[in-house]
């Protein structure tokens, strides 16, 4: 990507692509950047299918189960459980709820590490403050590499790094396989990678591409390149990711024979989406 490349500050979708996502969202319209965020789990499914077809030994963490909202607590003052409680009691209730959420996420990740012992790498996309980062995790090598297209301070996602350490302890306690033995995961932050232009909402695309490329081609932590890669994706790269994403949604999520077709959703039950779910071309 040369220095004269132009970088998008927003993304565009065709009318058909917007209809596809709208159908999956119960008929509601969404802004394009909201479409990008809400469809990231779909992209994770796309990568999973890609790895499966290529028989790549890659494990994926579910982004909806590890995101910031899964391990943080926001309580409404009108919550029934808070009625007639003192500020101290509310703080204690919130503390206990927060602790339980941390445990739930850590246990999910730890069990995933155990389940993926036959995989050479575990990939994750973590969302915090409306921003995505990619994580390349090698439980057997006790190593985590963070790929952040905006180089946020690691303090911004410090709590999640702590959760990963708890998950790793769980993995070790349960007898998880180890090629190297460390007390804690070795975490690499500020790793050289492609950087999105400031002021854009493209982090989901960058994280998606980070996981796709590194999952397919990196075998060991030592294989990760250390040379500086500070360039942004150009328009062609972004459009290629969009094309892959919407092709996957159309084929695997919208078609009645797709792997991720929701038989109880609006797409399956509404006649106005019949052409989206029953298009006549043979499934590839």
Model confidence over 13-40: pLDDT tens digits? 343 443 334 444 444 444 434 444 444 4
Could you tell me the two tokens for 54? 């290529």
Q: Are 193 and 148 in contact (CB under 8 A)?
A: yes
Sorted by sequence, the CB contacts under 8 Å of residue 116 that are 6+ apart come out as 59, 122, 139
pLDDT of residue 1: 32
Q: Which tens digits make up the pLDDT trace of 133-145?
A: 989 999 999 999 9
Delimit the domains of the chain by residue range: 11-55+246-284
Which strand (E) or helix (H) includes residue 218?
Answer: none
Tokens 């299918």 correspond to 49
pLDDT of residue 140: 94
Instruction: Report which of residues 52 and 156 the model is more confident about.
Output: 156
Euclidean distance between CA atoms 277 and 54, whole angstroms: 26
Sorted by sequence, the CB contacts under 8 Å of residue 88 that are 6+ apart come out as none
Q: Which residues pair with 60 in a beta bridge?
A: 123
Euclidean distance between CA atoms 7 and 253, whole angstroms: 30
Task: Give the model's confidence band at 11: pLDDT under 50 very low, under 70 low, under 90 confident, else very high.
Answer: very low
Residue 128, Cα to own-chain centre: how many angstroms? 11
pLDDT greater than 50 at residue 130: yes
């Amino acid at each position: 990507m040369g220095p004269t490349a132009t970088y998008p500050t927003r993304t565009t979708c065709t009318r058909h692509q917007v209809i596809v996502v709208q159908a999956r969202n119960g008929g509601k319209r969404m802004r394009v950047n909201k479409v990008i965020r809400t469809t990231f789990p779909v992209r994770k499914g796309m990568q999973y299918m890609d790895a499966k077809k290529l028989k790549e030994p890659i494990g994926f963490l579910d982004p909806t189960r590890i995101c910031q909202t899964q391990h943080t607590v926001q309580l409404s003052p009108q919550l029934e459980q808070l009625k007639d409680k003192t500020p101290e009691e509310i703080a204690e209730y919130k503390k206990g709820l927060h602790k339980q959420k941390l445990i739930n996420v850590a246990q999910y990740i730890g069990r995933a590490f155990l389940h993926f012992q036959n995989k050479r790498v575990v990939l994750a996309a973590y969302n915090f403050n409306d921003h995505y980062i990619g994580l390349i995790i090698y439980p057997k090598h006790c190593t985590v590499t963070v790929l952040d297209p905006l180089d946020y301070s690691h303090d911004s996602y410090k709590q999640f790094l702590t959760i990963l350490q708890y998950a790793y302890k769980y993995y070790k306690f349960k007898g998880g396989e180890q090629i190297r033995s460390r007390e804690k995961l070795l975490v690499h932050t500020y790793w050289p990678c492609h950087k999105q232009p400031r002021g854009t909402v493209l982090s989901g695309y960058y994280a998606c591409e980070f996981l796709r490329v590194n999952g397919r081609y990196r075998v060991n932590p030592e294989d990760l390149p250390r040379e500086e890669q500070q360039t942004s994706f150009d328009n062609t790269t972004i459009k290629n990711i969009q094309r892959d994403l919407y092709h996957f949604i159309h084929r695997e999520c919208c078609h009645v024979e797709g792997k991720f077709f929701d038989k109880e959703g609006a797409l399956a039950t509404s006649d106005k989406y019949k052409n989206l779910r029953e298009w006549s071309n043979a499934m590839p």
